[in-house]
């Protein structure tokens, strides 16, 4: 008998999911042992199954028999969450019936829900943890949002969120669901619920990468982005954001560029946006009593002066951030709008100095495949060695490029006249006693971590006793430590977890064609201190450069 009941239970849930109210009623009438709220093997009631499938008549039938809409699954999924399955002309009727029967509008799911046959990690394919309002935002259903917010004391739904997740307002901004966002903001205004636009603007920019926008909104992705940003800019004509937007001390333009979302940056710099902001400011001026009451443009959502504002701890301008991202088209646009190519940002290794140029920013980002932007930077007026009168101790972009293994960039800088003998005391985290050339800094950087390690061996008593044999580090070919230093690019392989090895790429095309013996190559890899340890202790055999 238990087996029969279990099979009938499966059929009943199937009938509810498939929209057969008469079948559901027949099963309930003919099997008294079955209850209207009996759970299936995954903890779902027939009412939830009917709501998820969008069958209004089944929902009404079950509610008329006393089905409880407060019963949730283990992840707190409720029938009310599935209002998104009903068309606009049914959602309000079904929702009101569920709420009248006791459904909780604040029911909060505890994990992502995904019933796709081919589940993915894309946000459009996963219902986020949240209330029925959150799910309505996800599905871009302003009609459901307006219905839910029409319930008594419901405005708090706009800010109720699952732990470590955005609020429904932030989701709406991120998805570029303008009408959902507008419906919630209107409700909060009507009920005098305090809020700030700061997080909405941040979310709208954060969600504006082209890949995600196309997946969410298809061919309308640009229109959806523009409509959402237009709405937010219209709403914030009189707002000030003294602490920044997107990050402390950031402008919205800088934040968009730092996120790699060029489309937002282009939107902010477009003539249409400039006209929208100008019109809004004029409307605001018409209603204020004194010009002093006007918000300071510097702290507004966007103004022309933001283009050259240094932002964040790094004190980079929008142009320098654009260069760091290697964005050609945006670079040209910013230059055409008056961006200062000579602006300097804070030295990442010395917070007291603001002396890094556009070339430093590009080199530190280690761009090495597409370096055409460097030519534009130099042609715009930045000297290839990027020195300044204010600071004699400044590493050149060439040194920065070499220390970041950007060899093609280094070749480009050398081809444009970079001084190979430019000297400075400091580069990266290293400071030397005296101004030292590019080569000197590279040798010090290579040897810095090796000296202390080798000293441990050199200071052992057995090192003095077996000096002759100790420095023969590869007995089979009788190679000394100095030979290994000279030929470090040969016979070295990456060791990776899957047990396979692959040769370390080595830029041989950047090595001089002139013959070099092992001493010359060794000095290119070791400091004089390392050489002092090894040189007197090992017989150096001249080794042709094709061997090293």
Summarize pLDDT for 410-459 with one digit per residue, the tens: 999 999 999 999 999 999 999 999 999 999 998 888 877 777 777 788 77
Closest CA to 253 of 199, 313, 319, 344: 319
* pLDDT (tens digit per residue) in 277-305: 999 888 888 877 777 667 777 788 999 99
* pLDDT (tens digit per residue) in 103-122: 999 999 999 998 877 777 77
Predicted pLDDT of residue 16? 64
Residue that has been written with the tokens 């460097």 in this structure: 374
This prediction has a pTM of 0.84
As a whole-number percent, the residues of the chain with pLDDT over 70 amount to 81
- Average pLDDT score over residue span 466-485: 78
- Residue 94 predicted with pLDDT over 50: yes
Q: Which two tokens stand for residue 359?
A: 């070339």
Q: Are 45 and 37 in contact (CB under 8 A)?
A: yes
Predicted pLDDT of residue 529? 44
Contacts with 435 (C-beta within 8 Å, 6 or more apart), sequence order = 393, 423, 424, 425
- Residue 317 predicted with pLDDT over 80: yes
Contacts with 232 (C-beta within 8 Å, 6 or more apart), sequence order = 173, 197, 200, 201, 204, 301
- Residue 514 predicted with pLDDT over 60: no
Q: How many residues does the chain have?
A: 548
- Residue 12 predicted with pLDDT over 60: no
Q: Name the 3-class secondary structure at 426.
A: strand
- Average pLDDT score over residue span 23-48: 79
Highest mean pLDDT among 2-11, 33-42, 234-243: 234-243
H-run or E-run covering 14: helix 2-18
Alpha helices in 37-128 (DSSP H): 46-53, 56-64, 88-100
Question: Is residue 332 exposed (0-12), middle (13-18) or buried (19+ Cβ within 10 Å)?
Answer: middle
Q: Which two tokens stand for residue 1?
A: 């008998």
Predicted pLDDT of residue 547? 47
Q: Which two tokens stand for residue 87?
A: 């068309």
Q: Are 7 and 38 in contact (CB under 8 A)?
A: no
Predicted pLDDT of residue 266? 98
Q: Which of 16-20, 338-342, 348-352 has the lowest mean pLDDT?
A: 16-20
Predicted pLDDT of residue 528? 44
**Residue 430: φ, ψ to 5°:** -110, 135
- Residue 164 predicted with pLDDT over 90: yes
Counting Cα atoms < 13 Å in the Cβ hemisphere of 211 gives 3
> Helices 372-379 & 407-415, crossing angle to 10 degrees?
30
H-run or E-run covering 483: helix 481-486
**What count of other Cβ atoms lies within 10 Å of the Cβ of residue 492?**
12
As a whole-number percent, the residues of the chain with pLDDT over 90 amount to 62
Contacts with 391 (C-beta within 8 Å, 6 or more apart), sequence order = 353, 355
Question: Is residue 251 exposed (0-12), middle (13-18) or buried (19+ Cβ within 10 Å)?
Answer: buried
| Higher-pLDDT residue of 381, 505 | 381
- Average pLDDT score over residue span 210-227: 96
- Average pLDDT score over residue span 510-518: 48
**What count of other Cβ atoms lies within 10 Å of the Cβ of residue 247?**
16
Alpha helices in 191-220 (DSSP H): 198-206, 210-217
Taken in order of first residue, the domains within the chain and their CATH numbers are: 196-341 (1.25.40), 344-419 (1.25.40.20), 453-537 (no CATH)
Q: Are 77 and 109 in contact (CB under 8 A)?
A: yes
Average pLDDT value for the chain: 85
Q: Which of 36-40, 71-75, 125-129, 511-515 has the lowest mean pLDDT?
A: 511-515
- Residue 484 predicted with pLDDT over 90: no
- Average pLDDT score over residue span 145-167: 96
């Amino acid at each position: 008998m238990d087996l029969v009941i279990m099979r009938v239970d499966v059929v009943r849930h199937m009938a509810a999911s498939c929209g057969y109210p008469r079948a559901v009623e027949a099963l309930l009438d003919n099997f008294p042992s079955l209850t209207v709220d009996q759970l299936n093997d995954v903890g779902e009631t027939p009412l939830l199954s009917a709501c998820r499938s969008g069958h209004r008549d089944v929902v009404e039938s079950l509610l008329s028999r006393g089905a409880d809409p407060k019963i949730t699954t283990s992840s707190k999924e409720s029938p009310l969450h599935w209002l998104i399955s009903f068309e606009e002309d049914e959602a309000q009727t079904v929702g009101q019936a569920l709420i009248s029967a006791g459904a909780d509008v604040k029911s909060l799911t505890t994990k992502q829900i995904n019933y796709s046959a081919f589940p993915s990690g894309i946000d459009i394919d996963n219902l986020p943890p949240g209330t029925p309002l959150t799910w309505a935002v996800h599905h871009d259903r302003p009609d459901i949002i307006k219905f839910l917010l029409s319930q008594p004391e419901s405005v708090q739904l706009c800010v109720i969120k699952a732990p470590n997740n955005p609020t429904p307002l932030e989701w709406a901004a991120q998805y570029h669901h303008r009408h959902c966002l507008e419906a919630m903001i209107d409700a909060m205004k009507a009920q005098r619920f305090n809020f700030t636009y700061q997080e909405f603007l941040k979310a709208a920019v954060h969600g504006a990468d082209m890949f995600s926008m196309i997946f969410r909104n298809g061919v309308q992705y640009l229109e959806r982005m523009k409509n959402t940003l237009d709405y937010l800019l219209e709403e914030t004509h009189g707002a000030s954001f003294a602490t920044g937007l997107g990050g402390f001390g950031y402008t919205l333009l800088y934040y968009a560029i730092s996120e790699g979302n060029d489309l937002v940056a282009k939107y902010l710099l477009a003539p249409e946006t400039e006209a929208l902001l100008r019109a809004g400011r004029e409307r605001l001026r018409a209603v204020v009593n004194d010009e002093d009451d006007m918000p300071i443009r510097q702290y507004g959502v966007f103004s022309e002066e933001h283009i050259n504002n240094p932002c964040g701890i790094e004190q980079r301008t929008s142009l320098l951030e654009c260069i760091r991202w290697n964005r050609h088209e945006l670079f040209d646009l910013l230059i055409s709008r008056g961006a200062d190519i000579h602006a300097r940002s804070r030295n990442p290794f010395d917070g007291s100095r603001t002396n890094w140029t556009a070339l430093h920013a590009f080199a530190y980002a280690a761009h090495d495949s597409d370096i055409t932007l460097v030519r534009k930077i130099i042609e715009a007026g930045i000297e290839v060695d990027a020195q300044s009168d204010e600071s004699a101790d400044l590493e050149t972009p060439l040194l920065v490029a070499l220390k970041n293994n950007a060899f093609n960039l280094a070749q480009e800088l050398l081809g444009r006249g970079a001084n190979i003998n430019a000297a400075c005391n400091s580069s990266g985290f290293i400071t030397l006693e005296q101004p030292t050339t590019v080569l000197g800094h590279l040798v010090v950087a290579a040897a810095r971590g090796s000296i202390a390690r080798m000293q441990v061996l050199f200071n052992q008593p057995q090192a003095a006793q077996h000096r002759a044999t100790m420095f023969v580090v590869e007995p089979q070919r009788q190679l000394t430590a100095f030979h290994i230093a000279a030929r470090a690019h040969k016979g070295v392989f990456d060791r990776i977890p899957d047990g396979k090895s692959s040769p370390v790429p080595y830029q041989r095309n950047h090595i001089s064609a002139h013959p070099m013996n092992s001493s010359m190559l060794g000095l290119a890899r070791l400091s004089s201190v390392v050489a002092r340890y090894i040189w007197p202790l090992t017989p150096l055999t001249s080794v042709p450069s094709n061997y090293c």
